């Protein structure tokens, strides 16, 4: 399963962002079916496994180590902290950007949002102390670890190094092109 940091969801909603399409592709409800190793055909079928396998195969050929089969193909695109809500929705709401708000709400609807309870807060404190993270970043990483995510997708290289144990930190460039 993939756990999402707030920054990448914002990029996905801003399709003009250089990484927007790569990230948004993880939320496709009716992904293309694979006809061959690199040939896609758009269908409206509910089966997402072929799309995930093709994406994983492309990523593995690129040597990123990102494998969507390992990430867990399901109707949910991944998981994240309930803290994503105020972090990504407040700005478009405040500025009247309804289209962006709807897009982000749609993405959040495809994530298993983990509530911040006392035990996750305690784990967040440990993660903050160990990696020198601010509160929100610590909550996102602790949520990923708590949920058993295999991948944490972020573009925050300053705070999230690929050397963090117990989870593979991946960046938008690690995803295959959309």
Across 18-32, 78-92, 159-173, least confident range: 18-32
**Given a cut of 90, is residue 8 above it in pLDDT?**
yes
d(CA 126, CA 45): 43
**What is the band of 36 on the pLDDT scale with cuts at 50, 70, 90?**
very low
**Given a cut of 80, is residue 80 above it in pLDDT?**
yes
> Residues 6 or more apart from 118 whose CB is under 8 A from it?
none
- Average pLDDT of the chain to the nearest whole number: 80
Apex CA 96: angle with CA 93 and CA 99, to 5°? 85
Q: How many CB atoms lie within 10 A of CB 86?
A: 12
- Phi (first) and psi of residue 104, to 5 degrees: -65, -40
pLDDT at 15: 77
Give tens-digit pLDDT for 99-122. Answer: 999 999 999 999 999 999 999 999
d(CA 172, CA 11): 10
**Given a cut of 50, is residue 163 above it in pLDDT?**
yes
Q: Partners of 41 in the beta sheet?
A: 33
pLDDT at 76: 85
Asked if 107 and 77 touch (Cβ cutoff 8 Å), the reply is: yes
Please, what are the domains in the chain?
Answer: 2-29+70-174 (3.40.50.1010)
């Amino acid at each position: 399963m993939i756990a999402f940091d707030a920054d990448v969801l914002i990029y996905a909603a801003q399709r003009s962002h250089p990484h927007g399409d790569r990230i948004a592709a993880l939320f496709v409800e009716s992904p293309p079916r694979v006809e061959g190793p690199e040939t896609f055909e758009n269908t409206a079928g509910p089966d997402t496994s072929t799309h995930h396998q093709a994406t994983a195969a492309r990523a593995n050929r690129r040597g990123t180590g990102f494998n969507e089969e390992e990430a867990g193909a399901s109707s949910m695109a991944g998981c994240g902290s309930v803290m994503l809500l105020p972090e990504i929705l407040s700005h478009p709401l405040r500025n009247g950007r309804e289209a962006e708000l709807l897009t982000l709400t749609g993405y959040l609807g495809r994530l298993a949002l983990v509530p911040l309870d006392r035990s996750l807060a305690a784990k967040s404190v440990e993660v903050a102390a160990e990696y020198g993270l601010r509160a929100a970043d610590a909550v996102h990483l602790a949520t990923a670890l708590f949920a058993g995510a295999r991948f944490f997708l972020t573009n925050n290289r300053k705070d999230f190094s690929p050397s963090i144990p117990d989870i593979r930190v991946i960046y938008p460039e690690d995803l295959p092109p959309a």
